[in-house]
Amino acid sequence: MREERLLVKHKKNFTKTTNSMHRYKKHKNLIKDLNVTKPEQVWVSEITYIKTQQGYEYLSLITDYYSKMIVGCHLSTNLKAEGPIKALEMALAGRHYPERDLIHHSDRGFQYCSDDYNNLLNQADVLISMTQESDPYENAIAERVNGILKDEFGIGEGFMNHIQAVKKISQSIQTYNTKRPHLKCKLKTPLMAHRNPNLKLKRWGRLLTKSQFSTKEKSNKKEKSITY
């Protein structure tokens, strides 16, 4: 598809939705070296902007790390904590495996650090994890799912109003969860992967920078030149 110029061009997000300069407690990253092997072991959260003719709105998403299934969502007209809280309430109410230990991972935005959001997680016995740096790889799953919805389902193109946006986004998430095969799920849909915890799914890897790739390439050549 790349050779035939058929790949969807990715659009960069220039709208900042994360404000980590606040008084609330910031938690450690609990999933950095964690081997995620089952659904509802880790949830990742993210807020992304949505354009309408009435102004920007903000979509809160909660995605299961293992299955890539979107388990909670809410579209809000502002960046207050109420939007993410409603997405979290939806996710908690729809758990398939409520007996499992669960980690909630997010950036350090004030919405996720707020007392109301953290109290809801504590009441549900969910551990709290947050990114430590501004590196997008610390929340790569959430970033990737946002990109899929915007690039493949067109929700990044904008809507006339809030009602149209809610309807289209709801339809897109339903289709994504139930009909779109996911490469990281061995071409199963997120819903199928969520209900089949025995799949050995691919892990998300970090891309090497140009300098890192050059260093690795030199190291490989050096190893090959060794005579045994």
pTM score: 0.79
Strands 70-76 and 103-106 turn out to be: unpaired
Q: What is the Cα–Cα distance from 190 to 25, expressed in whole angstroms? A: 33
Alpha-carbon dihedral 142, 146, 147, 149, rounded to 10 degrees: 140
Range with the poorest average pLDDT among 90-94, 193-197, 220-224:
220-224
CATH no., domain 42-225: 3.30.420.10
Checking if the pLDDT of 23 tops 60, the result is no
Q: What is the Cα–Cα distance from 124 to 127, expressed in whole angstroms? A: 9
Range with the poorest average pLDDT among 38-42, 48-52, 78-82, 181-185:
181-185
The pLDDT score that the predictor gives to residue 3 is 75
Angle at the Cα of 182 from the Cα atoms of 63 and 177, rounded to 5 degrees: 50
The pLDDT score that the predictor gives to residue 219 is 55
Mean pLDDT for 51-76 is 97
Cβ atoms < 10 Å from Cβ of 228: 2
Contact between 24 and 114 (Cβ < 8 Å)? yes
Q: Identify which of 122-136, 157-171, 189-203 has the greatest average pLDDT.
A: 157-171
Cβ neighbours for 159, distance < 8 A, ≥ 6 positions apart: 50, 51, 52, 53, 165, 168
pLDDT level of residue 129 (50, 70, 90 thresholds): very high
